[in-house]
Chain A
């Protein structure tokens, strides 16, 4: 989706280059740099302020889930395909990185992108039906991919360790090993920035525009000379690539990768992230991911607030918090689709537009 940010009066774009620029104004660029700088300062600030280290793990989670969700957004939001098996690719990336780093002895720094490439290859295999299928049928093919990959994880003991969790080496660079979350935060942040820059630039290129054309009207796209099969399969590969990177970062953060947590409920969580953030919005992906990662925390806080009140006693909220989270995820998906189908990114643009013209916003 074209970034319909508000352009100051008198700013006429006269070249294609100016039209596809990432930052339309100097302020927006500076704000982005400032945002990254603030994030860089976060671990230090947290330790100064005495914020519980748990919040840092949440930020790391937002990082690696955000990268994986970005891949899904390329597939669903930009290319208009739907995937219900994203978590399986995320899991494949995690196992692949663990395998490559601990069994083959590849340094973790290289193992993470390598895991991305391996996952992309698997994604391409499951994207192959895209040569003949579209829409719905593809969605069902990804559902099959989800179950087949999960089955593979439990079977392939040489690769995943079977019932024994696979070990993932800690991240290291130039002989310096990252052990604490404070340090790992920077690793994830670096990957996040690189992945988001990659995706943003991809969308400005011919290939990115081709993906959007396939989404908007595939017949017209084909007539304009876009190879549908190529781009549909490619978007599957891209989605799997980012999922693999995210999964690999997850693996090296956890240290062990067990067979759990890559099921269809996690896939639904990824879909929820991009829907809430906004389909076809790169920054929206991050907002949606943050929303979905913080939602369980909000639920926790809410039930803690209601503890021992009659509501809690009547409904047994505390012991059933896991189910309540499940309900909340589904509810958020449904409500966003009905009331705010363009997601948080759209709402954010509206807020920006309002303040830009304040106090004459009408």
Chain B
């Protein structure tokens, strides 16, 4: 048993899992509000990270200013996407909507590769100290920041839904669109807002990943990894998404540990979440916290 490696991988799992949780949360946000399964979630991370990287390296803007501009950009981007592409599709069959998001993800991936290239680009260093010592473990500052940002975003989302007026309106829309409309909630605005928030939160996650590792087209895999997480947690549960993300992140790293120590199959950690996904779909399709759809005729 290699304890050092195990602890390292568990810490890694929590960090990556928290990020999966954040992305899954923003995925579920869109699904809950507008019943759209967004296959372009990973590209939100990609776009956010590249835009921030570009501002920081090209114009030498300080990190927080660059971040703020990125977030404003993503806000506008999310709203524009909803209005231009997804609003005409309201009421269309679910296949069309899924396909549009798949098409969007292809466009964004191609466009990002076209503009920024295929190579991974590191962010300029942001922290003065590279690592801090916590309980005898050397942890990089970037990792700490990653967990802190993830937790902050989760707390922010919880506050938004529990206490704010718009969060309440969004929950009402998710519950029943017609009733929400009759109570004076503009469902259109809620949809646009859901996409905007989702884009912003994903972009933050994207920048965090960029700071921890580097920005590259591989970032969009987060959008795929989000599916095991949300299916595990339940497609329409925010809490479930966060927990699912954490579990998938831990699972990946535990699979990596088992693989490297005992099995030596190679690349097990990449594929393990998908086996879990199939198993959950077989035995408990509505996940840990999802609402069970009961059909009455």
Q: A interface vs B, CB < 8 Å?
A: 76, 80, 82, 84, 128-129, 132-133, 135-137, 139-141, 143-145, 147-148, 151, 154-155, 219, 223, 264-265, 268, 271-272, 275, 279, 320, 323-327, 329-334, 337-338, 341
**A338 & B106 in contact (Cβ 8 Å cutoff):** no
The 10 A-B pairs at the shortest CB distance, nearest first, are namely: A330-B106, A326-B110, A333-B103, A330-B107, A327-B110, A334-B103, A323-B114, A144-B274, A151-B271, A330-B103
Contacting residues, chain A, for B18 (C-beta < 8 A): none
**Given the complex, which residues of B lie within 8 Å of A327, measured CB to CB?**
106-107, 110-111, 114
B265 contact from A155, A271, A341, Cβ within 8 A: A155
Q: Is B99 interfacial (CB 8 A cutoff)? A: yes
Contact present for B295 and A219 (CB under 8 Å): yes
A229 to B71, CA, bound (A): 46
Residues in chain A near residue B281, CB distance under 8 A: 129, 132-133, 137, 140-141, 144
* A40 and B281 alpha carbons, distance in the complex (Å): 47
Let me know if B277 is at the binding interface, CB within 8 A: yes
When distances are taken between beta carbons in the complex, the residues of chain A under 8 Å from B107 are: 326-327, 330-331, 334
The answer to whether the Cβ of B59 comes within 8 Å of any Cβ in the partner chain is: no
The reply to whether A136 and B94 contact each other, CB–CB distance below 8 Å, is yes
The one of B98, B105, B274 in contact with A139, judged by C-beta atoms closer than 8 angstroms, is: B98
Return the contact of B102 from the options A141, A148, A333 (Cβ within 8 A). A333
In angstroms, Cα B140 to Cα A139, docked, is 39
Q: Which chain A residue has the least Cβ–Cβ distance from B271?
A: A151
Mark each residue of chain B from 254 to 272: 1 if its CB lies under 8 Å from any CB of chain A, else 0. 0000000000010100110
Closest to B270 in A: A151
- Chain B facing A: main interface SS: helix
Q: Does B155 contact A (CB under 8 A)?
A: no
CB A142 to nearest CB in B, in angstroms, measures 10
Nearest chain B residue, comparing its CB with the CB of A321? B114
Q: Given known contacts A147-B271, A330-B107, A338-B89, is B282 in contact with A271 (CB within 8 Å)?
A: no
- Please state if A136 and B100 are interface contacts (CB–CB under 8 Å): no
A68 to B102, CA, bound (A): 20
- Name 11 interchain pairs, CB-CB below 8 A, sorted by A: A82-B94, A132-B285, A136-B94, A137-B231, A144-B281, A147-B274, A151-B267, A279-B95, A330-B103, A334-B85, A337-B103
Contact between B102 and A271, CB atoms less than 8 A apart: yes
Residues of chain A contacted by B277 (CB below 8 angstroms): 140-141, 144
> A133 CA to B280 CA in the complex, in Å?
11
Given A139-B37, A265-B106, A341:B278 Cβ within 8 A:
no
Docked-complex contact A219 and B297, CB < 8 angstroms: yes
Q: Chain A nearest CB: distance from B159 CB in Å?
A: 29
How many whole Å from A216's CB to the nearest CB in chain B? 11
Residues of A within 8 A of B270 (CB): 151
A324 and B110 in contact, given A135-B94, A155-B265 (Cβ under 8 angstroms): yes
Q: CA separation between A265 and B85, bound complex, in Å?
A: 21
For the complex, is B162 an interface residue (Cβ under 8 Å from A)? no
Tell me whether B235 is interfacial, beta carbon within 8 Å.
Answer: yes
Contact with B278, one of A144, A151, A272, A323 (Cβ below 8 angstroms): A144
Given contact pairs A133-B285, A141-B277, A144-B275, a sample of 9 additional A-B residue pairs in the complex whose CB atoms are under 8 Å apart? A84-B102, A144-B281, A147-B274, A272-B103, A323-B114, A329-B103, A337-B89, A337-B96, A338-B89
A336 to B267, CA, bound (A): 38
In the complex, B113 has a CB within 8 A of chain A: yes
Nearest-neighbour CB distance to chain B for A177, whole angstroms, equals: 39
**Quick one: closest B residue to A76, CB to CB?**
B95
Query: A264 CA to B231 CA in the complex, in Å?
Result: 20
The distance in angstroms between the C-alpha atoms of A356 and B224, with both chains bound, is 48
Q: Is the CB of B267 within 8 A of A341?
A: no
Assembly CA distance A144 to B280 (angstroms): 12
Chain B residues within an 8 Å CB radius of A136: 37, 94, 98, 235
- Choose among B224, B267, B282 the residue that contacts A129 (Cβ–Cβ < 8 A): B282
Asked whether A223 lies within 8 Å of B297 as measured between CB atoms, the reply is yes
A330 contacts which of B89, B92, B110 (Cβ < 8 Å)?
B110
CA–CA, A285 and B285, complex, Å: 32
Contacts of B103 in A (CB 8 A): 268, 272, 329-334, 337
